[in-house]
Structure 1
Amino acid sequence: MLTIALHSLRTRWSTFLGTFTALSLGVALLTVMGLTLASSLDAPQRQPERFATAPVVVQGRNTLSVPTSIGADVSRETRKLAHPHAVPEAIVARLKQLGRVVPDRSFPVHAEGGPGSLVGHPWSTAAFAPYEITAGRAPRTADEVVVTGDWVRPGERVRTDHGTVRVVGTVPARGFETAVFYTDARAAELSPKSTQLVVEADARAVREAVKGTSVHVLTGAARRLADPDPDRDREALTAMNALFGTAGGVTAFVSVFVVASTFAFAVAQRRREFGLLRTAGATPGQIRRTVCAEALVVGVLASATGCVLGSYGAPLLAARVVEVGLAPDWFTVGDAKWPYHMAFWAGLLVALLGVVAASWRAGRTGAAQALREASVDSGTMTWGRLLCGAGLLLTAVVTLSLALVTDPGELLHRKTYVSRPMLLITAVALLAPVLVRPSTRLLTWLPALLPGAGGMLVRENAAAGVRRTAAVAAPVLVMVALTGSLLAATATLDAARAGETRERVTADFVVVPAGTSGPAGSGPPLSGPGFDAPTLRKLRAIPGTTVSASSSSAVFVLEDGPALIRSEARAADAAPLAATTHLPLTAGRVSDLDDRSIIVNEEWERHTVGQTVDVWLGDGTRKSLRIAAVMATGTGDNGVHLTPANAPGAEVDRVDVTLAAGADPAVVAGALREAGGHVFSREQWLRASHPGTDRTTRYGYLLVLGIALLYTGISLANTMVMATADRVRELAVLRLAGATRGQVLRLVGAEALTVVAVGGALGLLVTGLNLAGMQGALTLLSVPTPIRIPWPQLTAV
């Protein structure tokens, strides 16, 4: 059998070249994704940056640790507090007896013409990085600063949100921040709270001094936890794991789908050859073994080639994700070996599985029946294929129905709307022989009525060659369905969130602290210093307005047994909140909110008005609160609402203003600006807060769809070549019947476009089914939103 297989490979090299190309490219993609995913599993140990030379860093309490239990097992759940504590004065006094204590303060700074991520510090902390002055001198007065980098020169004056300052010195940038150093006294005025400090003393003595307290002592490599955004490496790894995991899953599905389809089509093309072998005395088992031997040889060669191609492609992909900022600068492809094994054996397995069903059918074909077989495909829908396709379709419908009944919000999660299309794509592809012929006749109905035989030939050729049409349409089906499902899902969710924001915000104006540019997406609108007390008094004193001052916070609750869940919160007084915001309540009233209650959403395990829930506030304080009202779940961004008394440590970072009857909007807007802050009208705020796909997700989709589009495009052309090469004799008959070369070319091109249109129609069918489920979920979650279909992108695909 192996000898016959090798002779077949040599004589039918054009057919096997197509399967070899599809498989090697698929294995290459699997190798690339495996290598990049393996490289994102571990990050190098980052060394301390801001406090590289500090002996000891002491932090106030900044975590919440809650004991949990599952049966007899007891553990602790730990979460970061929304409002870390300052180091208690009593402990600071003890530490000062051991050595010099330097409080650290960090606060955002907005400078005209400066970088957008400036952060302020006291000058005394600069020595611990260490920062050394390269030009000028240290600051001595409240209006003097030292800056990092070369964006401004010593002697120049810069307007900031903390007043106009004079730059008296510069220090080299160290890469992890762009800093502005004030005098210690001025920094204390701008940021009175210090959550960490440096102690120039022996570490053991410091630990002994704070023994039994809730403060953290950081030494050695642990000092990196005091750096700005110490979790950025872990967060970057999590984002890359999600990105490459999703890309790898989609790539694996697309490659397996296309490779299996190509192998099955290649075997189906040779049914007359198998009939000849049967006439010569070959048994069904010998036919099957021959086909499997051919697939084994092609699979080994193509998988090995794909691994080599992937080893060259992975570093290119890693460099690209670093270049666009999806990965940290340190990210490179490592030397993991398991991705090669995974890709090689997966490719070989796909090659063998791709021919099993077709070879079984070829072996069962009788010799005379095979020799009499016409060009029209018959019996393409076997009972096994029909049962598998119907089973997958039924599974998709049942799981969708269960999700709609039990947890509609699950359908809005990215992992769900990325994976669900694959189930439907496979089901529709298996049922394609049933769908292809009527779809083809429908699409070619009008061209077939035109004068001449061209339209009729296109219709009959495409409808007769069901296997060829299905094999060519398969890559198009995958690409259109994935593009439509993923991009339409994100666009629809963005529109739903924007609709929620529009319904919620009823204020005429929204004011944020000076120096901030507006909301960050659909989440908490600000990340910066809050309003000071004098500014709030001025805002509240403006006549003809109702003012609701609110702050960002968080609460923690134990749910589902041992799970410590963090919920984002807004803290505001009940009466102004009700006058400036329309919360999507399903029970209760906003006016019932007080210092002993909370407004939750339906996602909470306990969400009945009047029930009591035990929560931990943003500073870690435990409290029992009565549920005053319940909000709809929506798209998951509703969070909870508290009074300011239950958000200790939270600064007011947003002021909603509603006009009284007869108040002049222009006069009120001018008064708001004069009081201090960045003033938005309602429409300006809604435009600024319109949710959009975050950068990582957007590039991730471009990566996934770009790779899938490239691969399916190559596979489509490859399958076209295989299909057309098998029709040489048929096309020659057309030439003998009087068709010109141009007519034959136009006929082949029209058939190709028809088949691609069939694949596109099936892809749109899958997209529609997926989006119908999402719209049902949004309706059940009280967010009725029309489906947004990305027609330009679908048209381009």
Structure 2
Amino acid sequence: MLMLALHGIRLRWVTFAGSFVALVLGVGLIAATGLALAATFDAPERGPERFAAAPVVVRADGLLRVDTPTGTRTAPLARPGPVPPGLAAQLSTLGGTVEDRSFPADVMPPRPAGSGGTAEDGGARVGHPWSVAAAAPYRLTTGRAPAAPGEVVVTTGSGGTRFRTGDRLRVRTPAGSEARTVVGTVAGRGFEDAVFFTDDEAARISPDIDALVVHADATAVRDALGPGSGMDVLTGHDRRRADPDPDRDARDLVSLNALLGTAAGITLFVSAAVVASTFSYAVAQRRREFGLLRTAGATPGQIRRTVLAESVLIGVAASAAGVLLGSGGAPLLVRRMTDAGLAPSWFALGEPSWPLHTAFWTGVLVATAAALVSCHRAGRTAPTEALREAAVDSRVMPVSRWVAAVLALLLGLGLPALALATDPGDLLGRKSYVTRPMLLIVGCALLAPVLVRPVGRLLTWLPARLTGATGVLVRENTAAGVRRTAAVAAPVLITVALAASQAGTVATLEEARATEARTATTADFVVTPGQEDRPLAPAFLERVGDIEGAVVSASRSTAVTVLEENTALVSSEARAVDPVRLAAVARPPVTAGRLADLDDGSIVVNEEWLTTRVGDRVTVWLGDGSERSLRIAAVLATGTGGNGVYVTPRNAGGADVDRIDVKVAGGGDRRSVAAALRTAAVDSGARVATRAAWSAPTAPGPDDHTRTGLRMILGIALLSTGTALANTLVMATSGRARDLAVLRLAGATVPQALRLVMAEAVTAVGVGAVLGGLVAAVNLLVVRGALALLGVTSAVVVPWAMLGLVVAAAAVLAAGSAVLPALSALRTRPVELVRSHE
């Protein structure tokens, strides 16, 4: 049996080439993504950065602690408190102490003139007192330490920015923008771009103490603080918790883990579908061969075992090659992800080998499973039935395939319908819109042999009525060769459905958020910081408040935490606003109560909260951890998730202003208000945008992780689709040599025959595109329905440009893959071809 399978593969290598290549690519991609995924599990813990040379670091622990009947629950605070001023003096008896302060210190483009050097724009930086530089440690490479106001030391070598001793800079801090002289430089350490001031000037700019370096024994420090101090005493690796955004690596790895898992799942799904379709068509092409074997005395079991043995051999060989491809491609994948910002710059592959074993056996199982149904069909072939079916495809849908297709479609439609009835917001999550289309895709792919005939007739209706026989022949050949058309259409269906569903959902959600923002905001201008983590400077707020003809509403980004069902602390984003001023520049989607009733003793919540009855009181913890009992003044619609919570500035938990909504008052001059805003923003680093520009959907960019990951996933699908298309059409066209010869004998010229083959291939691609578009339309309508139930009225965005490129690329590839073997077959005299197939 093994020798027979090897002999069959050697004789029909064209039939198996596409399955082999598709499986190699699939296993290679699974191996590469698996190796990268394993690296996210075994990523090394990074050591402390800011305080790597500090023996002990004391800072506020930044945790909210709430006692519940089931124990103490904790949650991170949005705005942890500072170190008490007297603590440094208290701990100084144990050893030397150094106060750390961190604040924005942006280097601005230098103004012309002046003596001394001029430096280039250093961009966003962070300021510290010079005394804490040794905790990193930073060491002077040139110059000296700052000794007087106006003197600074800066890091160099980061982001290509270079400074020299003697350079004159303008540095913007919360205290304003002032000229500074660089008196020294230190080498950058990679985790921040810093500007160091004298200790006294740093204390003037930022009075709060963010952390305290203590040169003493950690146990003695803990004993001096005592229990319940609310302070963290950090030593060893724990000092990393005092670094800026210490959880960023963990967040990046979680996001990378989700992306790679999704990519591996999509790869497995597409590869299995493509290989199954290819094997199915390969078996269908060999009906005459199997019929002859049955006539010669072969049993159904022997034929099944032969087909299965062939698939196992192909699976083992392709999986082995795929593992080699994946192990070599994994470093390239990691490098591409780090360059695109999808992975941290330090991310690297580890040494686990289990992803390679998993990829190998997955490939073997996919090939075997794909051949099981096909070999069962091959074993049922009767001698006379095979000869009778050689001309026209019939009975292409066995009962088992009907059952599987109906179940897939019922699940693909029923699960979203259930979610729409119970939790529409769940349908807007990335996991949902990435995986949801798969059941519908499977159902339509299984029904492809039934659907291709009516869709093909629809696409060829007009060409068949034009002069000439090409349109009629394309229509009839498409209808007669159902298996061939379905085998070509299936991979196109998968790719178009995935591309339209995922890219369309992302674009639709972006448009919905933009629509929601435009509807909720009536301001003419929205002012935000130039950097996300920067507040707006107090001096800028004063200047904006003095603009004639402008109604100004300043707000703060904060958070509130609530204990749900006495078991879980749930935090919600919130904005602290003046309700009177907010009413002039915004129109939030209120479903109950009145926004005007918001005061220092109340809160505005959204429909996601457990308590949503106006007038009820809820216990919340503010961003600084203080506890409040607030009355619900109004309830907002859930929307896309951007409708958070509103409180007054008194309940902001110490948050700074980070957004200003400006509306031109009646009788005011819009141009003069805009000019005044932009003039005030010049030295503050603020960004002034019109409402339309501020609320516009996010444009694609190189740092957009969602879009980059989406392109990566769709690239995988397109690669597998291209392989399947090329292989199926090469098989199909090579097997139609006799049909082409008969066509030549009937009077058709070689160009006419090639045009016919090309038209049939493009029609099959069109069938797949139509079916894929129908699947995508259902998925996008589900998203639209979920948005409507959440109170968001927004149009569905269809990525026509992307779909056009995908379909055009498939059509060109299909045409080429059909024409080249046809051209080779047409070089032989028609009479010889007919005789050779008799």
Q: What residue is the counterpart of 1:6 in the other structure? A: 6
The answer to whether the Cα contact below 8 Å between 2:514 and 2:695 also exists between their aligned partners in 1 is no
Picking from 707, 725, 742, the partner of 1:733 is 742
Aligned partners of 2:4, 2:548: CA distance in 1, in Å? 94
Matches within 5 A, 1:159-238: 159-161=170-172, 162-212=177-227, 213-238=229-254
User: Residues 61 and 87 of structure 1 are in contact (CA less than 8 Å); yes or no, is this contact kept in structure 2?
Assistant: no
Please show how residues 5-404 of structure 1 align to structure 2 within 5 Å.
5-67=5-67, 74=70, 76-113=72-109, 114-149=121-156, 150-161=161-172, 162-212=177-227, 213-404=229-420
- The 3-state SS of whatever aligns with 2:624 is coil
Give distance in 2, aligned partners of 1:63 and 1:256: 48
Counterpart Cα distance in 2 of 1:186 and 1:160: 13
Query: In structure 2, do the counterparts of structure 1 residues 369 and 152 end up closer, same or farther at CA, with 3 Å as the change threshold?
Result: same
- CA distance in 1 between partners of 2:399 and 2:307 (Å): 22
Contact 2:82/2:209, CA 8 A, preserved across alignment: yes
1:598-677 counterparts in 2 under 5 A?
598-669=603-674
- Between 1:554-563 and 1:760-769, the stretch displaced more is 554-563
* Contact 1:292–1:352 (8 Å) recurs in 2: yes
Residues 1:774 and 2:783 are matched in the alignment: yes
Find the aligned partners of 1:689 and 1:374 in 2 and give their Cα distance.
58
Q: Does 1:528 align with 2:559?
A: no
Counterpart of 1:723 (choices 703, 722, 732) is 732
Whether the 8 Å CA contact 2:530–2:686 is kept in 1: the answer is: no
Counterpart position of 1:504: 520
Which residue identity is paired with 1:133? L
3-state SS of 1:654 partner:
strand
Give 1:381 shift.
1.5
1:460-479 alignment to 2 at 5 Å? 460-479=476-495
Change (3 A) 1:338 1:242: same
Corresponding position of 2:818: none
Counterpart residue number, 1:444? 460
* CA separation of 1:563 and 1:727: change in aligned 2, threshold 3 A: farther
How far apart are the structure 2 equivalents of 1:18 and 1:669? 62
Secondary structure in structure 2 of the residue aligned to 1:724: helix
1:567 alignment partner in structure 2: 572
The AA in structure 1 aligned to 2:612 is H
Structure 2 residue matching 1:460: 3-state secondary structure:
helix
Aligned length: 782
TM-score of the pair, normalised by structure 1: 0.94
Q: CA deviation at 1:708?
A: 1.8
1:700 aligns with 709
User: Which stretch of the first structure deviates more once superposed, 647-656 or 455-464?
Assistant: 647-656
Residue 681 of structure 1 deviates from its aligned partner by: 6.2
Q: What is the aligned partner in structure 2 of residue 523 from structure 1?
A: none
- Tell me the CA shift for residue 685 of structure 1: 6.8
**Letter aligned with residue 779 of structure 2:** N
Instruction: Render the CA deviation track for 1:719-776: whole Å, top value 9, x for unaligned.
Output: 2112212222222222333333222222211111111111111111111111111111
What's the CA shift for 1:673? 6.2
What is the aligned partner in structure 2 of residue 686 from structure 1? 693
- Aligned counterpart for 2:755 among listed residues 732, 746, 749: 746
Counterpart position of 2:509 = 493
How much does 1:545 deviate? 4.4
Counterpart of 1:556?
561
Distance in 2 of aligned mates of 1:400 and 1:67: 39
Between the aligned partners of 1:610 and 1:215, the Cα distance in structure 2 is 37
Unpaired stretches in structure 1, ≥5 consecutive residues: 519-525
- Kept in 1, the 8 Å contact 2:555–2:577? The answer is yes
CA distance in 1, matches of 2:10, 2:67: 69
How far 1:536 sits from its partner (Å)?
A: 4.4
Q: In structure 2, what is the Cα distance between the partners aligned to 1:528 and 1:725?
A: 65
3-state SS of the aligned residue for 2:504?
A: helix
Q: Separation in 2 of the partners of 1:772 and 1:328?
A: 36
> Hey, what's the Cα distance between the residues in 1 that align with 2:15 and 2:784?
44
Q: Is the 8 A contact 2:280 2:374 kept in 1?
A: yes
Determine the C-alpha separation between the residues in 1 that align with 2:757 and 2:221.
Answer: 83
Matched to 2:140, the amino acid is I
Aligned-residue sequence identity (percent) comes to 57
Structure 2 SS opposite 1:418:
helix
Range that drifts further, 386-395 or 687-696? 687-696
Gap change, CA 1:509 and 1:315, over 3 Å in 2: closer
How far is the alpha carbon of 1:480 from its aligned partner?
A: 0.9
Equivalents in 1 of 2:400, 2:181: separation in Å?
80
- Does the C-alpha gap of structure 1 residues 491 and 122 become closer, same or farther in structure 2, counting only changes over 3 Å? same
Q: CA deviation at 1:390?
A: 1.6
Partner Cα distance (1:527, 1:329) in 2: 21
Give the Cα–Cα distance (whole angstroms) in 2 for the partners of residues 18 and 531 of structure 1.
Answer: 63
Q: Could you list the per-position Cα deviations for residues 111-135 of structure 1 after superposition, in whole angstroms to 9, with x for gaps in the alignment? A: 2242333111111111111111122
Change in 2 beyond 3 A, CA 1:576/1:267 = same
Secondary structure of the structure 1 residue equivalent to 2:510: helix
2-structure distance, mates of 1:128, 1:101: 11
SS of alignment partner, residue 97 of structure 1? coil
For the 8 Å contact 1:157–1:167, the answer to whether it is kept is yes
Q: Distance in 2 between matches of 1:141 and 1:431?
A: 79
- Cα drift, residue 470 of structure 1: 0.6
The 8 Å contact of residues 60 and 88 in structure 1, kept in 2 or not, is answered as no
Structure 2 Cα separation of the partners of residues 112 and 539 of structure 1? 21
CA distance in 1, matches of 2:546, 2:124: 33
Please report how far the alpha carbon of residue 438 of structure 1 lies from its aligned counterpart in structure 2 after TM superposition.
0.8
* Superposed CA RMSD: 2.1
- Structure 1 residue 333: Cα displacement: 2.1
CA distance in 1, matches of 2:385, 2:315: 30
Counterpart amino acid of residue 125 in structure 2: L
Distance 2:793 2:221 in 1: 58
Shift of 1:218: 0.7
Residue identity opposite 1:236 in structure 2: D
* One-letter code aligned to 2:130: W
1:412: how far off? 1.1
Q: d(CA) in 2 for partners of 1:573 and 1:372?
A: 82
Are the aligned partners of 1:542 and 1:671 in contact in 2 as well (CA < 8 Å)?
A: yes
In structure 2, relative to structure 1, the CA distance for the partners of 1:485 and 1:167 (3 Å cut) is same
CA distance in 2: counterparts of 1:92 and 1:685, whole angstroms:
50
- 1: CA distance between counterparts of 2:78 and 2:736? 69
- Quote the offset at 1:666 in angstroms: 4.6
1:506–1:682 contact (8 Å) kept in structure 2: no
1:555-577 CA-to-partner distances (Å, cap 9, x unmatched) read: 11233664322211111122112
Query: After superposition, where does 1:753-792 map in structure 2 within 5 Å?
Result: 753-792=762-801
Q: How far off its partner does 1:257 sit?
A: 0.9
Q: CA separation in 2, counterparts of 1:284 and 1:654?
A: 75
How far apart, CA to CA, are the structure 2 residues paired with 1:619 and 1:666? Answer: 40
